[in-house]
Amino acid sequence: MSTPWHALESGETLTRLDASAAGLDSAEAARRLAERGPNSLPTPRSDRWWWRLLRQFHNVLLYVMMGAAIVTSFLEHWIDTAVLLGAVVVNALIGFIQEGRAESALDSIRSMLAPHTRVRRDGRIVDIGAVDLVPGDVVRLVSGDRVPADLRLIRARDLRIDEAALTGESLPVEKSTLPVDEDSELGDRRSSCYAGTVAVFGQGDGVVVATGTDTELGRINALLTGIDTTTTPLLRQIAGFGRWLAAVILVAAAATYAFGVVVRGETPAEMFTMAVALAASAIPEGLPAVMTVTLSLGVQRMAQRHAVVRRLPAVETLGSVTVICSDKTGTLTRNEMTVQKVVGASRTIDVGGVGYAPVGTLTTGDGTTVTRESSAALDLAIRTGVLCNDSKVFEADGSWEIDGDPTEAALLVLGRKAGLSADAATAAWPRLDVVPFESEHRFMATLHRHDDGRRERILLKGAPESVLSACTHQLDDRNDQHPVDIAYWDRRAREVAAQGLRLLALAYRDREPATGTLEFEDAHQGFTILALVGIIDPPREDAVVAVRECHRAGIEVKMITGDHADTAAEIGAQMGLGVGRAPVTGAQIEALDDTALRHVVTETDVFARASPEHKLRLVRALQDNGEVVAMTGDGVNDAPALTRADVGVAMGEGGTEAAKESADMVLADDNFASIAAAVREGRGVYDNIKKFVLFMLPTNGGEALVVIAAIVFQLTLPMTPAQVLWINLATVSTLGLALAFEPTEKTVMQRAPRPPGQSLMTPFFVWRVAMVSVLMMTGSLGLFLWELESGTSVEVARTVAVNAIVVAEMFYLFNSRRIYNSVLDREGMLGSPYVLGAVAVCALLQLLFTYAPFMQAVFGSAALTLADWGKVLGAGLLVFVVAESEKWVVRRVRRSRMRERSSASALS
Ligand code: ATP
């Protein structure tokens, strides 16, 4: 056995892997990938198709139908037996197909969430899919990354890893590059990082030693959380309702049977048919399948709008969100940073140009061009910006692009505008060490070899408060040092921030003796401030529109940012947030107790200099006020707030893996507008489910009422059990499904959010279902009796009754496209190809049912005359007209109630 990786020196590790600290080249990586296979763990084996199909039969209703089929076969009612069994099979098939569709919708989304990693290839750091990692690759880890494979560290800078996923240890472990004892336990191997664990602080580079199933994670065969495909509260509510209904119906059917046989003395065979007809009519078979499809279509629609749902219940919760807390940088703003001002100790310089193209000049207020060389302080400031920097700008296909943090890229562009490239700056002062930027301490420091060879120079950049507190001096344009004038810098910082510019301060310190390493404490004192830099980051136009849309939809938007209070206030004002109110800062939040904070969150829309712990407290305070909160986040420390929020939203582009994994939804484009779009779709999905339930239940209700009336009044059954099953199957699979494809109504964002936890079965719902059930029963039973009265055969009368129900459903499908609003317009009647197509298919099925000889043989149906069809259409039209009139009345009542409420609130 050779020495394990964690016990080897890092140099030896590289040699053994035939790799170098500069990484592999693409050709070698491709060769190794072909040889070793992808860096992935086997996905949990999805169930075999036949098993998924079999599972569909595990359903109370299907048990009832199968039981009934057995009894009818004993009674030698062969046709009923065949139809019952046929219905069982068709039902199971529908469930199977729908489940497959939902699965594949979620699968395609899962691939959108595949983890990425930064790796050195061909001498550059590039972003690749984690599956493409091979042994020998050099991976760059920063806080928030999930470790993509097993790594032996070759560089570590305050790198702390949360290994709970592997060892169960909840405290993060500090890593280093020194080899550890060969026999160390996993949790003690500080020189290595393991796939599946999370970097929570610092930075490091590690060479990949094992991928895929060779990793420790692969060995213990653990699987990381993927998309959660559990059901949602609403689906559970409906499933529970379905089971409850099935039980009630079974009892009712049994009671009917007993009553008929014992009290009325009917024959058991006759009563059994009645009981089966009742059960078949009342149980809403298609409910769960169509709902799953509606949800997964919603998830797909959201993905098209760049909002990738990780947990299904979020689709519903989105519809009842009352507050969205959003980061500023990159979400509300474009994250295309350009330095506009450099404020020195004695003058301010304006910088021309926009975007990342290094075109623009440096001028003073009176328009005179300034060169970098004109002042040592300016030169040093620009150098600091370029060197204390981990990003890159480069030209690709004629446009300028960046790699890394846009704030830093803006400083590189400033350097180029002033004639200083990153390469030239680094060649003069090579970097020895770094303290990376973390949003808690808001600064970054780098250590460089001074050109005099004896000393070292520390460069510091960060939020003005963090940097100024470390400064004792300032440097003026004549290269003279003075004691730092804090009041001057504070005043200038506020001036620049009030223009909505993002602020950075730049400072330096020389030191001897040279140690070559930089500690966190080294960045705290003895610095000389060089300049403040003002960076513009304009609001995203679509986000401004989306904020307005949210306000209209009764949703409050709160901006929570790490930026300066004045910058936040100005950008907020440009977006219509917190106008006329001073932002509340992180420091102020800390001074408030929970009760006071609950009050403050209702009044304030902009929070500045806030860190992740503040976000967590804000979510809690909002939730204590009864709000349903969506919260965005990107960093590893945002995870608790994301988990706590009702809908945690992570950034797909700029967010860390840790944030994504705690989130319910990931924004592919980091754009606030996509959250608003997701809320809109969330409301739409909920609407569609409501519409489907409102459509389906009256069908069952109407049929059940027809059968009950027949039993109570001792009539001939107006529909045989086989006919009832036919209606249910023919309509759910055509008409019902069409509602899953309903586009979101234009007015969804003009309503107030749905109260969370509201039951689907509101009194209005019950009323609507009851009303339409009675209408359907009236049409169907009325026509049946009329037919019998006029002396036609039972077969014809039954065919009329069946068609009356189905045609009424076709009409009612149009009503159901809008719950409250009228459908009497072009869009309402002709707007959905799915509805029109479904009606056409359903009509064809009914013609088959009525005229095809084999259908007549199976279902006992008979051909109808034109006059019969006229009556049937009349019954359908009746439902349509009454349902539209009811909506009209409901709309008027709601409007007058709203008026009363608003005049009452105006009076109080
Ligand atoms: P939001 O939460 O809206 O995304 P943000 O991204 O602006 O806010 P942070 O990234 O925490 O918040 O930045 C806070 C402050 O830290 C900035 O205003 C800036 O002064 C400073 N800062 C940001 N990026 C860097 C960096 N790379 N190096 C040094 N300082 C930085």
Output the CA 563–ligand 1 centroid distance in Å.
6
Q: What is the mean predicted confidence (pLDDT) over 477-485? A: 91
Q: Determine if ligand 1 sits within 6 Å of the CB of residue 327.
A: yes
Which burial class, exposed, middle or buried, applies to 395 when counting CB atoms under 10 A from its CB (0-12, 13-18, 19+)? exposed
Output the CA 518–ligand 1 centroid distance in Å.
21
Given CA atoms 276, 277, 282, 284 in this order, what sign does their dihedral have? positive
Q: What is the mean predicted confidence (pLDDT) over 228-250? A: 72
Output the CA 462–ligand 1 centroid distance in Å.
8
Share the mean pLDDT of the chain: 88
Output the CA 577–ligand 1 centroid distance in Å.
20
**Residue 731: closest CA among 621, 668, 640, 816:** 816
What are the residue ranges of CATH 3.40.1110.10 in the chain? 348-531
Q: Determine if ligand 1 sits within 6 Å of the CB of residue 462.
A: yes
Give the three-class secondary structure for 615: helix
Percentage of the chain exceeding pLDDT 70? 95
pLDDT for 558-601, tens place per residue? 999 999 999 999 999 999 999 889 999 999 999 999 999 999 99
Let me know: does 205 contact 21? Beta carbons within 8 Å. yes
Q: How far apart are CA 213 and CA 888, in angstroms?
A: 63
Q: What is the mean predicted confidence (pLDDT) over 626-648? A: 91
Which burial class, exposed, middle or buried, applies to 850 when counting CB atoms under 10 A from its CB (0-12, 13-18, 19+)? buried
**Core vs surface per residue 808-823: b (16+ CB within 10 A) or e:** bbbbbbbbbbbbeeeb
In sequence order, what E strands does 86-134 have? 116-121, 124-129
**Residue 506: closest CA among 458, 455, 436:** 458
Output the CA 439–ligand 1 centroid distance in Å.
6
- In this prediction, residue 227 carries a pLDDT of 46
Closest Cα to atom 19 of ligand 1: 463
Q: Is the model's pLDDT at 226 over the cut of 60?
A: no
Q: Determine if ligand 1 sits within 6 Å of the CB of residue 326.
A: no
Q: What is the mean predicted confidence (pLDDT) over 225-239? A: 61
Q: How far apart are CA 875 and CA 887, in angstroms?
A: 19
Let me know: does 871 contact 808? Beta carbons within 8 Å. no
Q: Which fold has domain 1-227?
A: 2.70.150
Closest Cα to atom 22 of ligand 1: 462
Q: Which fold has domain 307-332+540-670?
A: Rossmann fold (3.40.50)
Output the CA 503–ligand 1 centroid distance in Å.
9
pLDDT for 602-615, tens place per residue? 999 999 999 888 99
Q: Which residue of the set 145, 327, 566, 646 is catalytic?
A: 327
Of 504, 618, 656, the residue with max ligand 1 atoms within 8 A of its CB, to mutate for a pocket test, comes to 504
Helix crossing, 866-907 with 763-789: angle to 10°? 160
pLDDT for 698-711, tens place per residue? 988 898 899 888 88
Output the CA 562–ligand 1 centroid distance in Å.
6
Q: Determine if ligand 1 sits within 6 Å of the CB of residue 504.
A: yes
pLDDT for 571-583, tens place per residue? 999 999 998 899 9
Q: Determine if ligand 1 sits within 6 Å of the CB of residue 444.
A: yes
Strand partners, 309: 665
pLDDT for 242-288, tens place per residue? 778 778 888 888 888 888 888 888 888 888 877 887 887 777 767 77
- In this prediction, residue 232 carries a pLDDT of 66
Residue 609 CA, closest ligand 1 atom number:
14
- In this prediction, residue 265 carries a pLDDT of 82
Supply the DSSP symbol for 651. E
Q: Which fold has domain 348-531?
A: Calcium-transporting ATPase, cytoplasmic domain N (3.40.1110)
What are the residue ranges of CATH 2.70.150.10 in the chain? 1-227
Of 435, 441, 561, the residue with max ligand 1 atoms within 8 A of its CB, to mutate for a pocket test, comes to 561
Tell me the two tokens of residue 881: 């007209």
Q: Determine if ligand 1 sits within 6 Å of the CB of residue 421.
A: no
Let me know: does 173 contact 151? Beta carbons within 8 Å. no
**Core vs surface per residue 752-786: b (16+ CB within 10 A) or e:** ebbebeeeeeeeebeebbebbbebbbbbbbebbbe
Output the CA 496–ligand 1 centroid distance in Å.
16
Closest Cα to atom 6 of ligand 1: 329
pLDDT for 500-552, tens place per residue? 999 999 999 998 866 788 888 898 999 999 999 999 999 999 999 999 999 99
Could you identify the residue written with the tokens 């009630």?
248
Q: Determine if ligand 1 sits within 6 Å of the CB of residue 607.
A: no
pLDDT for 819-857, tens place per residue? 888 999 999 899 899 999 999 999 999 999 999 999 999
* DSSP structure string for 246-288: HHHHHHHHHHHHHIIIIIS---HHHHHHHHHHHHHHHS-TTHH
> Is 825 an active-site residue?
no
Is the backbone peptide bond immediately before 135 cis, with ω within 30 degrees of 0? no
Q: Determine if ligand 1 sits within 6 Å of the CB of residue 385.
A: no
Let me know: does 560 contact 634? Beta carbons within 8 Å. no
Let me know: does 298 contact 235? Beta carbons within 8 Å. no
- In this prediction, residue 902 carries a pLDDT of 72
Of 327, 408, 411, 439, the residue with max ligand 1 atoms within 8 A of its CB, to mutate for a pocket test, comes to 439
Residue 439 CA, closest ligand 1 atom number:
11
pLDDT for 155-184, tens place per residue? 998 899 998 878 878 789 999 999 999 988
Q: Which pTM value belongs to this model?
A: 0.82
pLDDT bin (cut points 50, 70, 90) of residue 92 is: confident
pLDDT bin (cut points 50, 70, 90) of residue 677 is: very high
| Class of 234-302+678-903 in CATH | mainly alpha
521 contact partners, CB below 8 Å, separation of at least 6:
none
- How distant, in Å, are the alpha carbons of 122, 140, 210, 278, 653 from that of 40? 23, 19, 11, 53, 22
- In this prediction, residue 225 carries a pLDDT of 45
- In this prediction, residue 555 carries a pLDDT of 95
Could you identify the residue written with the tokens 């060779």?
214
Residues in the chain: 908
**Distance, CA of 899 to chain centre:** 36
- In this prediction, residue 224 carries a pLDDT of 47
Q: How far apart are CA 673 and CA 667, in angstroms?
A: 10
Side chain identity, residue 55: R
- In this prediction, residue 44 carries a pLDDT of 58
Range scoring the smallest mean pLDDT among 47-61, 441-455, 634-648, 803-817 = 47-61
* 224 vs 827, residue with greater confidence: 827
Q: Determine if ligand 1 sits within 6 Å of the CB of residue 641.
A: no
pLDDT for 877-887, tens place per residue? 999 999 999 99
- In this prediction, residue 213 carries a pLDDT of 86
Q: In degrees rounded to 5, what are phi and psi of residue 48?
A: -65, 150
